[in-house]
Chains A and B, each alone.
Chain A
């Protein structure tokens, strides 16, 4: 079965072809069914492969399947090939599973949209590239998936291209990602000149004895790769595209901009854990950027009034946690959080979508309130997602976040404190969102007829809610040998273990239990504060914003980063280019060309007199000219 790994990617491609090329006349039900079944096919194939791999002993769980040679030139050989190992399987299962759920949901959410077919075609294409990304056996093929998901993200963010904002946002996402890809590209060059190959297996096997630990080469490679990861996974300074990406349809935000694509950067860092372990400086950079992003984005999330934007900043912040984990060497904790986050963040986005659906597209939480009774299913599932994200026991997010914080604490108290502050803010902004949306007084416009969503949307919410509750148990920390995920990932990550990875062997169970209580306490404090400000004393936020108007405005406007970018980068480049064109092209070069043309014209007026019409004269001149030229050349 392992040899049929390519089928995982084939199914979505079939979906693209059927819906995209042949599906002009298909009724919507058929289009939606094709799209969803294609992903189900991928998911089931991945499950079968997973089952087979589980039966193998841990040491034999890695294999490669090569389809054909893609590029062979000089010493470069790149195959279309797949890497089946625990890490790629975890990713394949998560991606195809969550994708399937979201496809089902989309059939309800997009039912009325005139671009229904286009939507499912893009969505299948996205899953195709995403599955390539996580199962590729080389950097270059991974890059194909990497750019491919970027393209689909571009197309889906700008899905409603007739409006200005989505089109702008799509373009912004693509261009900012390209800046990250620049790093990825250069990293591949460096890897290639160092290892003469771009295949994962060869590179990682050779890395420990080819690269000097902490040397310039490995540090540059990992930092450049991380630049790529920053673009895709929206980390400082390349996070700016993700909030705008919320212009896309909400299931897209759930799938691409929360559960799957944006985690590609984390996956890439974990995939290269061998390299990162050899570069302590890069590890520190990853950890610090992750930590800063976690706090920074959470702080913006505190004041957003758009429910999707809250979730977007939350996603950025949570991705920061994943990088923080990787940066301290806790790669499996990063993947653990990636998986649980995929469940509960997808759930939250779909919940937000359900709210929008029931409120005629309204996103502003100031115009919501008291939706609890009108949308009970949406409310309860959203609440579960919120509890999971806030890190409340025993929901999924608790285990994964706790493991990250625990691993970080082994490494650095400062980073841990940062993570804890972030966790506090997370709990606060999420419950602020819950309270503003579902509790308190209704601020809903009278025109809007609030209604619960159809079953096709609620069932996916239910499934994801279940996963958000149970998902954490794949990585239970305290039970003896209970961290199945970590154990499963050992063959991939252990290689990196002897480097900078935090190998804290036997858990100090007592201390860990204390820290669990602490992080739980932090989350509860956040919730309590949100309750105080938004339920108990709804006047507080306004007063506070008046008191601290400067700070409030700074954060509310997202630290004016977009404006600064426009002023410092976009405008100067545009004006500079305009100047280049007008001055260099039109004035200098064409000036010279036209000028010499004018000189020629004048000269030819003089030379006119030579034109006697006598052929012999011309011939004489010609021969003389040739002789002169030859003389000049050969005399030198």
Chain B
């Protein structure tokens, strides 16, 4: 079994172990889950160390027939785009188990099984190189998440939120399934062999009229997952009602499947359609950036606020992808990881507050800096990271995205950068109301500061928040070549010429002057 398969299925084995473990000894079960996720994470580091830097193609590829008659293969592999998403999944699974240690009291066994199944699903989605396999993992991951929200969520509205999450996502996935089947049959009819193999699908020259429909079908599934405006309304409900760990994984990993999908499927499979739809997607991304930020500002519930901030942040990611140049797309990849850490950490932090106070309303807090100084420090760092302060993780990705967007269409950056201002407004305002001021509620006076376990969890997040910001080179070095491969696929098939190689893009206002100079010369 190859490295990738080991990482993918280890959690599944862990789930089996938990399933046969003694129900009444919940600490033992937790320990098993923690050990399995830790082991998975450590093994997954092998992907990073063994990764050939500078190579943009798929590595660690494993391929074996699965359902031979139908051309379904078990084919997995990673490139620079999926590498860090896999690592993010394995790392945050460890964090998730650690974070649920005290939080989850009922049905611990089932909870851990769900968590481990979810991990297998998440990793599987990012490593699949066979469309059918991809779809299987995509659906596999849906169910544990649905259960996490529906069973361990906030009693009042958890069922509504879970069903909304499920139906929204299901609706998108079904269209995607149809599109996958169409692609499969088109592959068969045009090449003579029926295959779900993604890489051989890349080579297909699909007519534009069909590309458009397929792009929309895949795109809708991914847009819902991201979520892009106007398909985002499941997110605030799902986040608010989900248990802490559910929110963390949902924000940190699951949302990235949408943006990952655009990069992995839409762009290389349907390049002409992608270029055609740039204005639509960039437009929706921009609306999302500003809309998400504005709506986040007026939320009374911290978790809902963070959820809407995700809409805004993920808007940046989509904008970066559809800037269709190296800076924008690499920035988008970085932003996906950064959002994983900063928003993941924010949900952890909100969870820690909720565990202590059993409320998420901003108005119920105030003055906590005084009572919980250690917590305050971490909260501040994470808030600043979310705001995109230079030197912390959020900035590098955001800046590259803005730069990429600017090169393609300056106006995009002009609007998107407004989101940067608004982020400071909603985050700092929230921080002020929760942390600053007098402690005016009796219940808040006796809140305990962080435990050692909680400090350890947040230290991990804070470490990456700083490390990403100060030295992002190891990530960029691995991401960029793969982004270039995707971009090349799009360029080969379309009239698009990337601005990322030094030539200024056509629409920038400077061309006038340069023309003038050329005439003079």
A162 within 8 A of partner (CB): yes
B480 within 8 A of partner (CB): yes
In the complex, which residues of chain B have a beta carbon less than 8 angstroms from the beta carbon of A585?
233, 236, 295
Known: A75-B500, A75-B502, A189-B403. A590 touches B233 (CB 8 A): yes
Report the Cα distance A151→B384, complex, angstroms.
9
| Interface of chain B residues 464 through 498 with chain A (CB within 8 A) | 470-473, 476-477, 480
Indicate if the CB atoms of B182 and A193 lie closer than 8 Å. no
Report the Cα distance A626→B404, complex, angstroms.
42
Report the Cα distance A577→B417, complex, angstroms.
18
Indicate if the CB atoms of B181 and A74 lie closer than 8 Å. no
| Interface of chain A residues 10 through 69 with chain B (CB within 8 A) | 68-69
In the complex, which residues of chain A have a beta carbon less than 8 angstroms from the beta carbon of B297?
573-574, 577
B124 within 8 A of partner (CB): no
B64 within 8 A of partner (CB): no
Known: A143-B390, A144-B390. A69 touches B473 (CB 8 A): yes
Known: A143-B390, A167-B436, A171-B432. A193 touches B298 (CB 8 A): no
Report the Cα distance A161→B434, complex, angstroms.
11
In the complex, which residues of chain B have a beta carbon less than 8 angstroms from the beta carbon of A70?
470-473
Q: Kindly specify which of B110-118, B266-274, B509-517 makes contact with the partner chain.
A: B509-517
* Number of residue pairs A-B, CB distance < 8 angstroms: 174
Report the Cα distance A193→B168, complex, angstroms.
41
CB distance from B319 to the nearest CB of A (A): 14
Known: A164-B437, A589-B233. A633 touches B210 (CB 8 A): yes
Indicate if the CB atoms of A580 and B294 lie closer than 8 Å. yes
A148 within 8 A of partner (CB): yes
In the complex, which residues of chain A have a beta carbon less than 8 angstroms from the beta carbon of B369?
161-162
Q: Kindly specify which of B45-53, B101-109, B147-155, B405-413 makes contact with the partner chain.
A: B405-413
Indicate if the CB atoms of B403 and A578 lie closer than 8 Å. no
- Count of chain B residues with Cβ under 8 Å from any Cβ of A? 76
Indicate if the CB atoms of A178 and B420 lie closer than 8 Å. yes
Report the Cα distance A634→B437, complex, angstroms.
65
Report the Cα distance A629→B343, complex, angstroms.
40
In the complex, which residues of chain A have a beta carbon less than 8 angstroms from the beta carbon of B512?
216
Nearest neighbor of B380 in chain A, beta-carbon distance? A155
| Interface of chain B residues 357 through 387 with chain A (CB within 8 A) | 367, 369-370, 384
| Interface of chain A residues 189 through 246 with chain B (CB within 8 A) | 189-190, 192-194, 196, 211-212, 215-217, 220
CB distance from B114 to the nearest CB of A (A): 25
How does the 8 Å CB contact mask read for B405-436 relative to A, with 1 for contact and 0 for none?
01100100110011011001100110010011
Indicate if the CB atoms of B327 and A73 lie closer than 8 Å. yes
How does the 8 Å CB contact mask read for B325-340 relative to A, with 1 for contact and 0 for none?
1110011000000000
B279 within 8 A of partner (CB): no
Indicate if the CB atoms of B209 and A175 lie closer than 8 Å. no
- Count of chain A residues with Cβ under 8 Å from any Cβ of B? 64
Known: A179-B421, A216-B509. A162 touches B390 (CB 8 A): no
A185 within 8 A of partner (CB): yes
Most B-side CB within 10 Å, residue of A175, A629, A633: A633
In the complex, which residues of chain B have a beta carbon less than 8 angstroms from the beta carbon of A158?
432, 436
A576 within 8 A of partner (CB): yes
B164 within 8 A of partner (CB): yes
Indicate if the CB atoms of A593 and B233 lie closer than 8 Å. yes
Indicate if the CB atoms of A589 and B182 lie closer than 8 Å. no
| Interface of chain A residues 151 through 189 with chain B (CB within 8 A) | 151, 154, 158, 161-164, 167-168, 171, 174-175, 178-179, 181-182, 185-186, 189
A506 within 8 A of partner (CB): no
Indicate if the CB atoms of A189 and B473 lie closer than 8 Å. no
CB distance from B213 to the nearest CB of A (A): 7
B504 within 8 A of partner (CB): yes
Nearest neighbor of B513 in chain A, beta-carbon distance? A212
In the complex, which residues of chain A have a beta carbon less than 8 angstroms from the beta carbon of B299?
581
A513 within 8 A of partner (CB): no
Indicate if the CB atoms of A636 and B210 lie closer than 8 Å. yes
Most B-side CB within 10 Å, residue of A74, A181, A190: A74
Report the Cα distance A144→B395, complex, angstroms.
9
Indicate if the CB atoms of B233 and A194 lie closer than 8 Å. no
CB distance from B477 to the nearest CB of A (A): 8
Indicate if the CB atoms of A147 and B390 lie closer than 8 Å. yes
In the complex, which residues of chain B have a beta carbon less than 8 angstroms from the beta carbon of A189?
402-403, 406, 410, 413
In the complex, which residues of chain B have a beta carbon less than 8 angstroms from the beta carbon of A193?
406-407, 504-505, 508, 510
CB distance from A154 to the nearest CB of B (A): 8
Report the Cα distance A636→B510, complex, angstroms.
44
CB distance from B295 to the nearest CB of A (A): 4
A76 within 8 A of partner (CB): yes
Q: Which of B429, B436, B480 contacts A162 (CB 8 A)?
A: B436
Nearest neighbor of B168 in chain A, beta-carbon distance? A593
B2 within 8 A of partner (CB): no
Indicate if the CB atoms of B436 and A580 lie closer than 8 Å. no
A540 within 8 A of partner (CB): no
Report the Cα distance A71→B473, complex, angstroms.
6
CB distance from A342 to the nearest CB of B (A): 25
CB distance from B98 to the nearest CB of A (A): 23
Q: Which of B164, B429, B438, B477 contacts A593 (CB 8 A)?
A: B164
In the complex, which residues of chain A have a beta carbon less than 8 angstroms from the beta carbon of B167?
597
Indicate if the CB atoms of A196 and B407 lie closer than 8 Å. no
Indicate if the CB atoms of B209 and A636 lie closer than 8 Å. yes
CB distance from B300 to the nearest CB of A (A): 10
Report the Cα distance A161→B230, complex, angstroms.
38
Report the Cα distance A18→B58, complex, angstroms.
45
Q: Which of A75, A144, A182, A636 contacts B421 (CB 8 A)?
A: A182
Report the Cα distance A220→B504, complex, angstroms.
17
Report the Cα distance A69→B470, complex, angstroms.
10
In the complex, which residues of chain A have a beta carbon less than 8 angstroms from the beta carbon of B476?
71-73
Nearest neighbor of A209 in chain B, beta-carbon distance? B517
Nearest neighbor of A158 in chain B, beta-carbon distance? B436
In the complex, which residues of chain A have a beta carbon less than 8 angstroms from the beta carbon of B505?
193
B178 within 8 A of partner (CB): yes
In the complex, which residues of chain A have a beta carbon less than 8 angstroms from the beta carbon of B502?
75, 196
A489 within 8 A of partner (CB): no
Indicate if the CB atoms of A186 and B413 lie closer than 8 Å. yes
Nearest neighbor of A626 in chain B, beta-carbon distance? B181
18 sample A-B contacts, Cβ–Cβ < 8 Å, listed by A number? A70-B470, A71-B476, A75-B327, A154-B428, A171-B429, A174-B424, A175-B425, A178-B420, A185-B399, A185-B402, A186-B413, A186-B414, A193-B508, A220-B509, A581-B298, A593-B164, A630-B181, A636-B209
Sort A-B residue pairs by CB-CB distance and give the 6 closest, nearest first.
A74-B326, A74-B500, A577-B294, A189-B406, A161-B436, A144-B390
Starting from the known contacts A185-B420, A216-B512, A580-B291, 12 additional A-B residue pairs (CB-CB under 8 Å) come to: A68-B471, A70-B473, A71-B476, A76-B327, A144-B390, A161-B437, A179-B421, A181-B421, A192-B403, A194-B504, A217-B509, A581-B298
Q: Which residues of B approach A to under 8 Å, CB–CB? A: 164, 167-168, 178, 181-182, 185, 209-210, 213, 230, 232-234, 236, 291, 294-295, 297-299, 325-327, 330-331, 367, 369-370, 384, 389-391, 395-396, 399-400, 402-404, 406-407, 410, 413-414, 417-418, 420-421, 424-425, 428-429, 432, 435-438, 470-473, 476-477, 480, 500-502, 504-505, 508-510, 512-513, 516
Q: Which residues of A approach B to under 8 Å, CB–CB? A: 68-76, 140, 143-144, 146-148, 151, 154, 158, 161-164, 167-168, 171, 174-175, 178-179, 181-182, 185-186, 189-190, 192-194, 196, 211-212, 215-217, 220, 573-574, 576-578, 580-581, 584-585, 589-590, 593, 597, 626, 629-630, 633-634, 636
